[in-house]
Structure 1
Amino acid sequence: MTENMLEVTGLGHVYRAKEQTHTAFGDISFAVDRGEIVCIVGPSGCGKSTLLRCLSGLLRPTSGTVSLHGTEVTEVPDELAMVFQDYSRSLFPWRTVAGNIEFPLRGRELSKAQRRERVEEALSWVGLSGAATKYPWQLSGGMQQRVAIARALAYRPMLMLMDEPFASVDAQTRAELEDLVLQVRAEHEMTVLLVTHDVDESVYLGDRVLVLSKSPASVVETLSVDLPAPRDQIGTRGAEEFVRLRTEVAQRIRNTAPTS
């Protein structure tokens, strides 16, 4: 993992409404290597979701630049997929589960059979093989989020941005999906940037953890996670180094959070 893929330089974003302004974050800089999983943590309301939208090209930052493979991002790149926190608004209610997953694949040079194969594989990955013909409104919130994750995985992006992707699923499913992200990264050399409020998750998944300060956010700490591979939910989480790292991340977040 030595090829630099994503570069973020001096990034900042300010929301303006009438005569009021709100600085979501300011002067954020970091880089992500190809095949790396980087987790972003920080106090609630510090601008993590806004940051992802700027990185994806969905929102133009007020200042700074985002570059993918050395090219500035001014719109959503073809090789990028994003899993939104608000899964209910990211799925088409009039399309079946299979139709939702297949939709972005129509822009790729894939035959109908290849698209169908990817849909079936992605549904199997997220445990929804029997839901292909159902519609989003027929599924629970957690199942809808799994459909959104399956859609991103089926696209096989080089860079996947994930905004609290497992927040709406139960603990067992969350563990399975975390392991799925590690599996897909290993098999397809996918680069993942993931926002989470779960400190343990950030250490379990990440090669590095970026800790953001309170709003307006900046990167206050970058922690390398040197845990042996392959990681597993019991052995890794019980390791002394895992406990040390999750304690360090939690302390960094607490030190940056606003006091009441």
Structure 2
Amino acid sequence: MKTETKTMLEVSGLGHRYGGANGHQAIADLTFQVRTGELACIVGPSGCGKSTMLRSISGLIKPTSGKVELNGSPVNGVPEDLAVVFQDYSRSLFPWLSVRSNVEFPLRSRGVSKAERRERADEVLEWVGLSAAAKKYPWQLSGGMQQRVSIARALACRPALLLMDEPFASVDAQTRFELEDLLLRVRKQFDSTVLLVTHDIDESIYLADRVFVLSKSPASVVADLEIPLGDERDQITTRESETFVHLRSEVARLLDVRTAAAPKPAPEAAEEPEASEPEAEAESEADEKPAEAAADAAAESDVDEQKADADEKSADDAEKSTAKQWAEAEQAEAAETAKRN
């Protein structure tokens, strides 16, 4: 996808140390830029400080050195025109809210009208393939579908910059490929600027216009690679291309990966003895009960007006709880700062 030359995100000399002057230096002197309309990936070894970097960029934590600018303005706190998709989708969604209400939730605090909230939610749910699941609850969905809800919620905010913290690390390989292709489609549809953090070399090359390679902790940028794979990509021909294979080897070399081969399979577990017929029947009945309970719960939840009212009240309660948690976090941070000073 072609990008503009304008800089959307500028990170200069970013550093963060946990635990004061003698504490752990997670990132050190990170400097890079993300252009408007670009999908950039940050790839680095596990534990190098990628998530700390992303939290610093998003304003969730205050860096101990350096600065972050979004569209030329310093980031002090979480900007309204920024959204984040986290790795742990199960903890980022409200289980007591429907899928649609989860997508609408951040729009409430921004003063978006109820009608527009519904319109935006329906639009993004259609794009991520979840229109039919709008009335369901997160616990009724698979892991991949829950992460689609998280992506839809972020897109509904129409952010200038979308940050993604290893968003596909917790799903199986097939679902991961589907979500990668989904991201490429919705990124093009919504003309989004995306910064995605991953430790997966193949994923970074497949998705990105540009890849920033980080060193081991404390993280710093060791390479800035353009990815000339074009706009149209697919999981088979793109990954088999000479350009992809060359870039994969280059990133692996930069990360000092000794081998880019797939990991050896885990030793096979010893086979368990087959259950006797009465035990098998008991297990079958036990397996059927949760399925029946889930079906009953889904049927009972299909009362539109009552559920909408309940969702509104739950969203209000959740918003108050979130505000309280932020206030407590700010007080704790202020106390910690006072101690250091």
The answer as to 2:76 corresponding to 1:74 is: yes
158, 162, 165: which is aligned to 1:156?
Answer: 158
Instruction: Confirm or deny: 8 A CA contact 1:34 1:189 kept in the other structure.
Output: no
1:7 alignment counterpart: 10
- What is the RMSD of the two structures over their aligned residues, measured on CA atoms? 2.0
Residue-pair matches, total: 255
- Say which structure is richer in helix: 2
Q: Which 5+ residue runs of structure 2 have no aligned equivalent?
A: 259-341
Deviations 1:85-138 (A, max 9, x none): 122221122211111101112345654333223222322333323322222233
TM-superposed deviation, 1:228: 2.1
TM-superposed deviation, 1:7: 0.5
CA–CA distance in structure 1, aligned partners of residues 22 and 141 of structure 2: 40
1:175 alignment counterpart: 177
1:216 alignment counterpart: 218
CA–CA distance in structure 2, aligned partners of residues 115 and 126 of structure 1: 17
Bigger Rg, structure 1 or 2: 2
Report the secondary structure of 2:90's partner residue. Answer: helix
Instruction: Confirm or deny: 8 A CA contact 2:97 2:137 kept in the other structure.
Output: yes
AA of the residue aligned to 1:36: E
Instruction: Confirm or deny: 8 A CA contact 1:9 1:64 kept in the other structure.
Output: yes
Report the secondary structure of 2:136's partner residue. Answer: coil
Check 1:156–1:172 CA distance in 2 against 1; reply closer, same or farther (3 A cut): farther
CA–CA distance in structure 1, aligned partners of residues 189 and 234 of structure 2: 16
Deviations 1:179-202 (A, max 9, x none): 222222323321100011221110
CA–CA distance in structure 2, aligned partners of residues 52 and 136 of structure 1: 25
Q: Which 5+ residue runs of structure 1 have no aligned equivalent?
A: none
CA–CA distance in structure 2, aligned partners of residues 157 and 176 of structure 1: 23
- Say which structure is richer in strand: 1
TM-superposed deviation, 1:255: 5.5
CA–CA distance in structure 1, aligned partners of residues 10 and 249 of structure 2: 28
Report the secondary structure of 1:227's partner residue. Answer: coil
CA–CA distance in structure 1, aligned partners of residues 146 and 181 of structure 2: 19
Deviations 1:7-61 (A, max 9, x none): 00000000007x9611101000001110011101111100001100000011100
Instruction: Confirm or deny: 8 A CA contact 2:83 2:154 kept in the other structure.
Output: yes
Instruction: Confirm or deny: 8 A CA contact 2:215 2:255 kept in the other structure.
Output: yes
AA of the residue aligned to 1:211: V
Report the secondary structure of 1:254's partner residue. Answer: coil
1:193 alignment counterpart: 195
Instruction: Work out which structure has the larger RCO, using CA pairs closer than 8 Å and 6 or more positions apart in sequence.
Output: 1
Matches within 5 A, 1:129-144: 129-144=131-146
Check 1:220–1:255 CA distance in 2 against 1; reply closer, same or farther (3 A cut): farther
CA–CA distance in structure 2, aligned partners of residues 36 and 223 of structure 1: 13
Deviations 1:192-235 (A, max 9, x none): 00011221110011111111111111111111111122222222
TM-score, with normalisation over the residues of structure 1? 0.91
AA of the residue aligned to 1:21: G
CA–CA distance in structure 2, aligned partners of residues 118 and 126 of structure 1: 13
2:34 alignment counterpart: 32
46, 52, 73: which is aligned to 2:48?
Answer: 46
Report the secondary structure of 1:243's partner residue. Answer: helix
